Amino acid sequence: DIQMTQSPSLLSASVGDRVTLNCKASQNINKNLNWYQQKLGEAPKLLIYYTNNLQTGIPSRFSGSGSGTDYTLTISSLQPEDVATYYCYQYNSGPTFGAGTKLELK
Amino acid sequence: EVQLVESGGGLVQPGRSLKLSCVASGFTFSNYGMNWIRQAPGKGLEWVAYISSGSSYIYYAETVKGRFTISRDNAKNTLYLQMTSLRSEDTALYYCARRVGPDYWGQGVMVTVSS
């Protein structure tokens, strides 16, 4: 199975900060990676698909990058409504989620 | 508007069975593969099973293989998850989600396995 390691597990940042969330795969996943946002009590929402494609309706402050085993979700200017847990998800083989990064306001 | 509505959850004793349903609307159900994904209380997300659009390809997580069966009825726009030999560790909110890299998710249905 492919293991997905997200870092950090908890991130505190201020409104307006540039925020970077990381996801590392245990083997090459060929950019077959999505990012999801889950707010408390809600279903996950797709933000980024296939590493760097912004899902329709998602603000442009969200972006994704990466290749091979290393992937990144960036929020260019943190907003209060971005407080949530973020999960990466690889679907290259035997789909797996990362454990999540909880993003809170400082 | 894409909608996925799960049902069939509840409290069940260990070792018993339960069948979940997910009714889809707002898109051509028969054109899309579908997933079941679960989330234990206070925990992260776990992919459970996938079925292709025509049911030709079916995959399971190792944690449920041999106990759970995913199926679909394209005429009824409905996805199913038959769960047998349930264990306490199967307690979770179960989501259905569209596509290999899921784009739309339902709101989930709670399954609690406890005596």
DSSP string of B31-91?
A: GS-EEEEEE-TTS-EEEEEEE-TTS--EEE-TTTTTTEEEEEETTTTEEEEEE-S--GGG-
pLDDT in tens, chain B (115 residues): 999 999 999 999 999 999 999 999 999 999 999 999 999 999 999 999 999 999 999 999 999 999 999 999 999 999 999 999 999 999 999 999 999 999 999 999 999 999 9
pLDDT tens digit sequence for A35-66: 999 999 999 999 999 999 999 999 999 999 99
Is the four-CA dihedral A47, B31, B45, B20 of positive or negative sign? positive
Letter for the amino acid at A82? D
Distance from CA of B46 to the nearest CA of A (A): 6
Q: Which pLDDT score, from 0 to 100, does residue A10 have?
A: 98
Distance from CA of B44 to the nearest CA of A (A): 6
How many C-beta neighbours within 10 Å does residue B114 have?
10
Report which DSSP code applies to A8: -
Q: Which residue of B has its CA nearest to A50?
A: B101
- Strand order across the beta sheet in which B10-12 lies: B10-12, B109-113, B92-98, B34-39, B45-51, B58-60
- Rounded distance, CA A68 to CA A33, Å? 10
Q: Which residue of B has its CA nearest to A31?
A: B101
- Rounded distance, CA B34 to CA B106, Å? 11
Which helix (H) or strand (E) segment is A17 a member of? Answer: none
Judging by DSSP bridges, how do beta strands A10-13 and A101-105 pair with one another?
parallel
